[in-house]
Chains A and B, each alone.
Chain A
């Protein structure tokens, strides 16, 4: 556990030294989202109808955007070797990296999304639901994205390939995350959707660290 916390705090400290990296991702999220009303037109009823899907998709893209550096920086400067040689499980190290990624992208995205939701004319309860689903759904995105990042470590065309690998696997989270907000309009149970999102996060938590560790070990060979 000491190692896990050490890695988490080191990665957060590294982000703190370069806050611009996070700011760019958040700016992308805002700009990409704002393009939708510009492309579709300002009719309030249409925007409110598509808001959840649009915000979930752009949040997904934004979190993919920052992932290709997740392990690549460690791979290039040799610190990945130190993680591979640390006397505690590599699965935990992979998890710590994903946790750091979630804290600096998933968390701010979930905080920022309701603000953008206002611009789409979402009612207050939908804004709450949006933040809640992003809060519970984005860890899954970080884990799946982390897996894709570890698999593409050292590959040609890393960034685009990462998205190709991760996006299909993110579909269930996207579907339930975006649909949860619609439940408020149809009167279905929001909690059921949140429970499914949490279940998806748990499945990712149970499966991806092993796969990430295996992929990182290969990258070290």
Chain B
């Protein structure tokens, strides 16, 4: 595995603070991530993992602090930053009436990119979705939907992955599939920040424990 370039972190988060309903969720949070690094967010329920993820992608406006991607503050140019992101929320973000394939291609087009069939096939294979590709998502189980959502993340080829409990509802085979996809992503110089309780199988993963 390539050594992370710790001297030039791609993502620099400094003194980030968030409040909800007048109370602080977290305060003065700082970390830096280089290529190929995974940051695992841990902490109890309600400790602010989801809020932190949403603040990093600017879905939640931070009260204070800066998020710097490749040397420029992401708040100055949110659209470019969004172009670098792949997002997996605690909801899958899938349309029940569309098939797995339509969901994946549709999500790619929504990111403003033409859908490439070869990449789609790779993602379908990686999460063992080939047999389900033409089934409507509403007929799938929770784990199958999660796999579809993870395939969508893989399909984006975005350098920064933000994942909220990616292993939710996955069986052990699917968890294994996700681990190897994640490792590939990191090996290609990608970054990932994941709120998780389980081990993501990345040996040099860094962890940030949030305390409410």
The verdict on B135 contacting chain A, using a C-beta distance below 8 Å, is no
Contact A78 B93, beta carbon cutoff 8 Å: yes
Q: Which of A182-221 contact B (CB under 8 A)?
A: 217, 220-221
Q: A77 touching B111 by the CB < 8 A rule?
A: no
- Give Cα A13 to B95, complex, Å: 11
What residue of chain B has the Cβ atom nearest to residue A88's Cβ? B112
| B59 near A85: Cβ-Cβ < 8 Å | yes
- Give bound CA distance, A85 to B53, whole Å: 12
Contact between B95 and A82 (Cβ–Cβ < 8 Å)?
no
Q: Is A14 an interface residue (CB 8 A)?
A: yes
Q: How many A-B residue pairs have CB under 8 A?
A: 79
Question: Is A3 in contact with B111, judged by CB distance below 8 angstroms?
Answer: yes
B109: contacting residue among A2, A18, A78, CB under 8 A:
A2
Query: How near does chain A come to B11, taking the closest CB pair, in angstroms?
Result: 16
Give the residues in chain A near B112, CB-CB below 8 Å: 2-3, 6, 86-88
Interface residues of A in 1-24 (CB under 8 A from B): 2-3, 6-7, 10, 13-14, 17-18
Interchain CA distance A82-B110 in the complex, whole Å? 8
**B80 near A87 (CB under 8 angstroms)?**
yes
Q: For the side of the interface on A, what is the size category? A: 20 to 34
Residues of B within 8 A of A89 (CB): 79
Bound Cα distance A79, B112 (Å)? 15
Given A77-B92, A81-B59, A85-B59, also A7-B98 (CB < 8 A): no
Q: In the complex where A78-B91, A88-B79, A220-B59 touch, is A83 in contact with B110 (Cβ < 8 A)?
A: yes
A2 close to B79 (CB less than 8 A): no
Contacts of B80 in A (CB 8 A): 87
The A96-114 residues at the B interface (CB cut-off 8 A) are none
Inter-chain contact B93/A77, CB cutoff 8 Å: yes
Taking the closest CB of chain B, its distance from the CB of A73, in whole angstroms, is 8
Task: Give every chain A residue within 8 A of B114 (Cβ-Cβ).
Answer: 2
Instruction: For A50, list chain B residues within 8 Å (CB).
Output: none
Contact between chains at A86 and B111 (CB < 8 Å): yes
Most A CB atoms within 10 A — which of B90, B92, B97? B97
Query: Which of the residues A7, A78, A79, A85 comes within 8 Å of B82, measured between beta carbons?
Result: A85
Q: Which residues of A contact B85 (CB under 8 A)?
A: 85
Contacts of B107 in A (CB 8 A): 82
Contact A85 B91 (CB under 8 A): no
* Nearest opposing residue in chain B for A221, CB measure: B60
Interface residues of B in 68-93 (CB under 8 A from A): 79-80, 82-83, 85, 87, 89-93
- B54, B60, B95, most chain A CB atoms within 10 A: B95
B70 to chain A, nearest CB (A): 15
B-contact bits for A143-178, CB 8 A (1 contact / 0 none): 000000000000000000000000000000000000
Within 8 A of A (CB), among B82-135: 82-83, 85, 87, 89-98, 102, 106-107, 109-114
The reply on A48 being an interface residue by CB < 8 A is no
* A34 located at the interface, meaning its Cβ lies under 8 Å from any Cβ of chain B in the complex: no
Instruction: Give chain A nearest CB distance to B120 CB in angstroms.
Output: 15
Q: Within the assembled complex, what's the spacing in Å between the Cα atoms of A82 and B54?
A: 12
**The residue from A3, A18, A78 contacting B97, defined by CB atoms under 8 A apart:** A18
11 more A-B residue pairs beyond the given contacts A86-B111, A220-B60, with a C-beta to C-beta distance below 8 A: A3-B109, A10-B106, A10-B109, A13-B98, A13-B102, A78-B89, A79-B94, A82-B87, A86-B110, A87-B83, A221-B60
